[in-house]
Structure 1
Amino acid sequence: SRDSQVLMDFTEYNLLSQLFFSVRNPEGQIKLYSKGADTILFERLHPSNEDLPALTSDHLSEFAGEGLRTLAIAYRDLDDKYFKEWHKMLEDANAAIDERDERIAGLYEEIERDLMLLGATAVEDKLQEGVIETVTSLSLANIKIWVLTGDKQETAINIGYACNMLTDDMNDVFIIAGNTAVEVREELRKAKENLFGQNRSFSNGHVVFEKKQPLELDSVVEETVTGDYALIINGHSLAHALENDVKNDLLELACMCKTVVCCRVTPLQKAQVVELVKKHRNAVTLAIGDGANDVSMIKSAHIGVGISGQEGLQAVLASDYAFAQFRYLQRLLLVHGRWSYFRMCKFLCYFFYKNFAFTLVHFWFGFFCGFSAQVGKNVSFFYTIPWIVDDCYTWLFTNQ
């Protein structure tokens, strides 16, 4: 209603992939509306919802199977006195010095419970122009691409096929859906056994037969495998896979797969996956996103890229580079990235050349001038020759 008054807007709160806000309607009632991933929202519903969550879940799966992006919506009636007390505690938590984030998260958890399910939404989100070509080009450049999304598993798989990251020609697609750490670890190890068989390990990137030795997490390296494989894991299973005693199996299997898709993940989990790769792999990470849910991931990566658009500017403000469409990533990496790398290498060589040219010439001239600090010759001309030659050489080549 136009006469409703928005009391609190928590659209920036995305720790658990949920957004909510409270309003006071014309009758004076306070209602809390929440939207988010069904796997998380359904856990916060009141028991009186009965069979509605199961029916809604079937509809969500049907929508996701068509490639639509889905969300669940619920509400809760709040007592005026309770809301004022809760809001006062929230203000105190925001002003706290110690454990501020934990206190705020606890208050959000407290108010966002006993919800009544309203329904679900399904939105078509078509791929931008040039996404398929960009993904293909980056794959040919031997760049590993991992998809970290909050969408349902069915939606993520459809997007993977639409981007040619998942194909019917793949040797196998491993889906990890364990509910406990033990189940997740067992599924990860079974997937590795399907790749290489029992009692195999790696030596210098080649498969050899010997008694399998567990790899230390800090020594995990990228193994060379024959064939294309994909790993798909949901957010609930990923939470267990990121535990200390399971990280090794997750990272080892993921590094052997051509495509990794993490679906229904929270913003915190996105950042944890990036940190896992940064810490235990000798690789440079780049995170790209367009929404507030991607901010933590963008900040965690070595290079953060934000896409401006309908999702707002949160990702852009937190990024190192920003552009309007995903397809520009190809030019950023394969053109400007390559140029930057070569220019840096050439500059380092030029740095040594310039210092040697200046120092050695005047050191040798010092024997003839009695080391009187007399300048023998202006060597600035010789400094500029390498750059003139390099620029003329570079102009001969196009971006291709």
Structure 2
Amino acid sequence: MDQQKTGRDFAAEDIQSVYKEFNSTSSGLTSQQATDLLTKVGTNTIQKAQRESQFKIFIKNFISLMAILLWVSGFVAIVAGTTELGIAIWCVNIINGCFSFYQQRAAQKATDSLLKMLPSYTRVFRDGDPQQIETSQMVPGDVFTLQAGDSVPTDARIIEATSLQVDESALTGESVPESKTAKYSKGEGQFAESNIIYAGTNVGSGTATAITVATGMNTEFGRIAKLTHSQKRATSPLQLELNRLTKQISMIAIAIGVAFFLAAIFFVKYPVAQSFIFALGMIVAFIPEGLLPTVTLSLARGVQRMAKKHAIVKDLNSIETLGETTVICSDKTGTLTQNQMTIDHVWLARKAYEVTGKGYYNNGKIQYQGQDVDLNKESDLDLLIRVAALDNDTEVQNVGGKAKILGTPTEASLIILSQKAGVDLKANRQKFPRLKEFPFDSDRKRMSTIHRIDDTELRLCLKGSLSDTLKLCSFILDNGQVRPLTAEDHQKISDVNKGYAAQGLRSMAIAYRDLDSSLTAEQIDQLSIDKTEQQLIFIGLTAMSDPPREEVFDAVKKCHAANIKIIMVTGDSTLTAKSIATQIGLVGDKARVITGTELDEMSNQELSDALAGEVIFARVAPEQKYKIVSTLQDRGEIVASTGDGVNDAPALKKADIGVAMGKMGTDVAKDAADMILTDDNFASIVSAIEEGRAVYSNIQKFLIYILTSNVPEATPSILFLFSRGLIPLPLTVMQILTVDLGTDLIPAIGLGSEQAEPGIMNQPPRRRDAHLLNKTVIWKAFAWYGLIASVISTFAYFFTNMQNGWPSVALFSSGYNYREATTMTLAAIVFTQIAAVMNCRTQKASVFKNGLFSNHLIWFGIVFEVALLAVLVYTPFLQDLFNTAPLNARDWLFLIAIPIPLFLIEELRKYVARRMAADPLS
């Protein structure tokens, strides 16, 4: 037995050769054979991508560039003589690392709960007897049986099949089930062999007996999983940007430290040791200790909000990457559409009806010219619906308010049609029992059944493709009368069918024939297809579609407003793909449709040129998505790609954001993806992108806020240095670090949980060359918020000195009056930061529009920093440590008056900016 062979290699061989290949028989293997083979080839399981050890993931949270910078900062603080603050910085780093690890574990657990393995049990023949065994214990040579609703556990060669239809969308992306038989035909495209079934696919209808030819990682499913596992993920844009920001801040902090060190020596004539400690304190002050906790919390809150919107994120950093997305490569079936084939139109010789209610259990109606139809008065329509319902093997069950199909989607649409017409399906089948069936097969493309009608008549009910059905019809039902089918009728029916096809609808012809009622049961059983399926009476056409999801229209509009391009990549037909794409507003009428065959023949440059315009990909195999995604990335795009099949996995892993379907997705697709949609809904991707944009925006808001306090923190030292020590330090190093690690931290983290700003999806994605620390951030932090805070805090210092006799007496450099002045400087910075955190909540919109009190964490942070300030200034032993003194009522009135005007002034600036953006001429 050669395990290098694939399932397809056995398609053309006769069944006896297959038995011989695996030393098996039609009765299966013996228990001993199975045991020996299991030891040799291993279990029938798909190995998941090898994950990093939990210990390694844990350690990674403590060795990022920012984490290393914080370790160094803590060490510097200890060297500078502020041991307590050094330890505090290290504690912040430890808490953040643990928090990040916890969030990653929580996301992974949520993902693992979604991942479902292959079916647990299969009916296998062992020792000649049927047995239920665990699917994982199956081996090559096992003979097993399948029926409607079963998942195929292995790659297998069919021995016998009856009306077998298999949903191979997990491999091919094609939503229409494939007919499978024991007879070999090559078929068109990959996995199209008529007598081979593949692991991970599902039986839609019929029954089969098959022999296993490949298991586990040797199946097509496993082969693609192996290919996916070999690919490595690139560093996320957020990680790259945080590394860049860390380097920038480190360089700025060191440059400032060196400048202050030299100035302290040459201007103030400080001793070298004292100058060094002073400079180290400034370096620590300029490092944003709250950056990592803020980023982690912002990502974690994004994960929580996205989970509520049916999106499970496996990697925290993936959230921000979503915010950068410029292109979404989306499947059609089940993502943009409901994955519920639904009859839209019914055409008869005299009338064309419309069917309302998209999807299953939508309480639809059958209407003619806008009026509900009474079947009692529409005999032709009544007959079509009853024939379609009788010539049908599918059941549609209501399970918890959701439709569960036991059969094929196409037949299910006919069942739903009968339900909308008010037909009692169960009573109908009991009243007109089935006597014989001619199953659907890929050659005939039709199915027919014989029923006893009212105990006196025999009727053949038939449905199938129009071309294969119409050629068998000699008559047409016209307003209750049967008349000969003319050439004019043929042309009319053909024109109607072309019209439906142009709309992307799939048509199905319905016909019948009354047979000789005197036939006995034995004679009926001996009837042949050729003699029975002839001289048919054509009733009409049904036209069906998979309707778009209701939410997808708004989602597409949001993407267009946000300059995000959506490219449909589907295995469906070109007409259907373009019809749905134009219907939901994805593309215009002139969009180019490229088929999988054309894609194979295109060079990378030709594909790149095509991707610059409006394009749809149809009849594309899932593995061809990889080429599309790669080419888009070569064009500089940030790509999100959806998928549910095993062949989608390479593209999912290659994409910047891989999005797997939680309901219909295979294990391999979910394992390769960065995000899993629990509702398989395109609109959930758009919601996730909005959250991703909010995350990046929140990190920038934090950066502005934290840098704002650095300006008033640095100003006192600048005054001290440039006055050559004549102006005593208005703020001590301990007080500077108190702001950074104490009062600023919780409000800053609160900014990380801010909700998305109104209009965030009306902006284009941020460019790859855009950075967190940009001109806008620098201007707001240093030249606007920071400058105002510096003026106010400096004024507070001199104002307090004036209350104590300055300028009649020299500025105090020690004692109670000095401590009182530095305390007011510290307090003024804290209260300007209260205004700053409120102002930073939005970049353009009014805070009132977002909700003044909507962010509870920020308000908790404000209360906390005021309380902490009070503790520092009124607790005796802390007064000595932080060089503070008690504040009186007058001081508090001055401080309380600071935030309100600063907040209102910024609201006015934002209002003016919005007006100017709306009307540049103003």
Q: TM-score, normalised by structure 2?
A: 0.25
Q: C-alpha distance in 1, partners of 2:733/2:592?
A: 68
Q: CA deviation at 1:299?
A: 2.6
Partner of 1:271: 626
Q: CA deviation at 1:75?
A: 1.6
Partner of 1:388: 838
Deviations 1:81-100 (A, max 9, x none): x978x779959xx99xxxx7
> Closer, same or farther in 2 for the Cα pair 1:4/1:134, shift >3 Å?
farther
| Alignment match of 2:594 (pick from 223, 233, 242) | 233
Instruction: Work out whether residues 149 and 262 of structure 1, in 8 Å CA contact, stay in contact via their aligned partners in 2.
Output: yes
Q: CA deviation at 1:152?
A: 3.4
Instruction: Give SS of 1:327's match.
Output: helix
Same amino acid, percent of matched pairs? 20
Name the amino acid aligned to 2:658: G
Q: CA deviation at 1:239?
A: 2.4
Name the amino acid aligned to 2:616: V
Deviations 1:59-118 (A, max 9, x none): xxxxxxxxxxxx9572259xxxx978x779959xx99xxxx759xxxxxxxxxxxxxx96
Instruction: State whether structure 2 residue 635 is matched by structure 1 residue 280.
Output: yes
Instruction: Give SS of 2:585's match.
Output: coil
Q: C-alpha distance in 1, partners of 2:571/2:577?
A: 9
Matches within 5 A, 1:79-98: 90=218
Partner of 1:192: none
Q: CA deviation at 1:138?
A: 1.7
> Closer, same or farther in 2 for the Cα pair 1:291/1:357, shift >3 Å?
farther
Instruction: State whether structure 2 residue 611 is matched by structure 1 residue 254.
Output: yes
Q: CA deviation at 1:145?
A: 1.0
Q: CA deviation at 1:364?
A: 2.7
Q: CA deviation at 1:146?
A: 0.7
Report how many aligned residue pairs link the two structures. 279
Instruction: State whether structure 2 residue 456 is matched by structure 1 residue 133.
Output: no
Matches within 5 A, 1:261-340: 261-281=616-636, 283-311=637-665, 315-316=669-670, 318-320=673-675, 322-324=677-679, 325-333=681-689, 335-340=690-695
Deviations 1:308-347 (A, max 9, x none): 32445655552246452322333333x4344334333333
> Closer, same or farther in 2 for the Cα pair 1:312/1:233, shift >3 Å?
same
Partner of 1:146: 567
Instruction: Work out whether residues 45 and 215 of structure 2, in 8 Å CA contact, stay in contact via their aligned partners in 1.
Output: no
Instruction: Give SS of 1:329's match.
Output: helix
Q: C-alpha distance in 2, partners of 1:362/1:382?
A: 18
> Closer, same or farther in 2 for the Cα pair 1:349/1:323, shift >3 Å?
farther
Instruction: Work out whether residues 184 and 193 of structure 2, in 8 Å CA contact, stay in contact via their aligned partners in 1.
Output: no
Q: CA deviation at 1:233?
A: 1.3
Q: C-alpha distance in 1, partners of 2:698/2:568?
A: 31
Q: C-alpha distance in 1, partners of 2:184/2:664?
A: 36
Instruction: Work out whether residues 641 and 651 of structure 2, in 8 Å CA contact, stay in contact via their aligned partners in 1.
Output: yes
Instruction: Work out whether residues 172 and 645 of structure 2, in 8 Å CA contact, stay in contact via their aligned partners in 1.
Output: no
Name the amino acid aligned to 1:336: E
Partner of 2:259: none
> Closer, same or farther in 2 for the Cα pair 1:148/1:381, shift >3 Å?
same
Instruction: Work out whether residues 38 and 72 of structure 1, in 8 Å CA contact, stay in contact via their aligned partners in 2.
Output: no
Instruction: Work out whether residues 138 and 330 of structure 1, in 8 Å CA contact, stay in contact via their aligned partners in 2.
Output: yes
> Closer, same or farther in 2 for the Cα pair 1:38/1:336, shift >3 Å?
closer
Instruction: State whether structure 2 residue 431 is matched by structure 1 residue 75.
Output: no
Q: CA deviation at 1:397?
A: 4.0
Partner of 1:155: 576
Matches within 5 A, 1:112-191: 119=442, 125-167=546-588, 170=589, 172=590
- RMSD between aligned alpha carbons? 5.3
Instruction: Give SS of 1:137's match.
Output: helix
Q: C-alpha distance in 2, partners of 1:342/1:146?
A: 26
Q: CA deviation at 1:278?
A: 1.3
> Closer, same or farther in 2 for the Cα pair 1:119/1:135, shift >3 Å?
same
Q: CA deviation at 1:4?
A: 9.0
Q: C-alpha distance in 1, partners of 2:705/2:216?
A: 62
Instruction: Give SS of 1:396's match.
Output: helix
The 4+ residue runs of structure 1 with deviation greater than 6 A are 3-13, 45-48, 86-89, 120-124
Instruction: Work out whether residues 288 and 298 of structure 1, in 8 Å CA contact, stay in contact via their aligned partners in 2.
Output: yes
Instruction: Work out whether residues 172 and 621 of structure 2, in 8 Å CA contact, stay in contact via their aligned partners in 1.
Output: no
Deviations 1:151-173 (A, max 9, x none): 33343233323323345xx3x3x
Partner of 1:364: 719
Instruction: Give SS of 1:261's match.
Output: strand
Q: CA deviation at 1:11?
A: 9.0
Instruction: Give SS of 2:586's match.
Output: coil
Q: CA deviation at 1:280?
A: 2.2
Name the amino acid aligned to 1:287: S
Name the amino acid aligned to 2:691: H
Instruction: Work out whether residues 75 and 118 of structure 1, in 8 Å CA contact, stay in contact via their aligned partners in 2.
Output: no
Q: C-alpha distance in 2, partners of 1:291/1:142?
A: 28
Instruction: Give SS of 1:286's match.
Output: strand
| Alignment match of 2:157 (pick from 32, 41, 60) | 32
Instruction: Work out whether residues 705 and 840 of structure 2, in 8 Å CA contact, stay in contact via their aligned partners in 1.
Output: no
Partner of 2:400: none
Instruction: Give SS of 1:138's match.
Output: helix
Instruction: Work out whether residues 184 and 194 of structure 2, in 8 Å CA contact, stay in contact via their aligned partners in 1.
Output: no
Name the amino acid aligned to 1:340: V
Q: TM-score, normalised by structure 1?
A: 0.52
Q: Structure 2: where are the runs of 5+ without partners?
A: 1-26, 49-117, 130-141, 145-155, 159-165, 198-210, 229-439, 446-505, 507-543, 736-821, 852-922
> Closer, same or farther in 2 for the Cα pair 1:118/1:29, shift >3 Å?
farther
Q: CA deviation at 1:356?
A: 2.9
Q: C-alpha distance in 1, partners of 2:692/2:570?
A: 26
Instruction: Work out whether residues 73 and 118 of structure 1, in 8 Å CA contact, stay in contact via their aligned partners in 2.
Output: no
Partner of 1:184: none
Q: CA deviation at 1:251?
A: 1.0
Instruction: Give SS of 1:74's match.
Output: coil
> Closer, same or farther in 2 for the Cα pair 1:119/1:353, shift >3 Å?
same
> Closer, same or farther in 2 for the Cα pair 1:331/1:29, shift >3 Å?
closer
> Closer, same or farther in 2 for the Cα pair 1:350/1:372, shift >3 Å?
closer
> Closer, same or farther in 2 for the Cα pair 1:372/1:155, shift >3 Å?
closer
> Closer, same or farther in 2 for the Cα pair 1:126/1:314, shift >3 Å?
farther
Instruction: Give SS of 2:699's match.
Output: helix
Q: CA deviation at 1:380?
A: 3.8
Q: Structure 1: where are the runs of 5+ without partners?
A: 14-18, 58-70, 103-116, 173-229
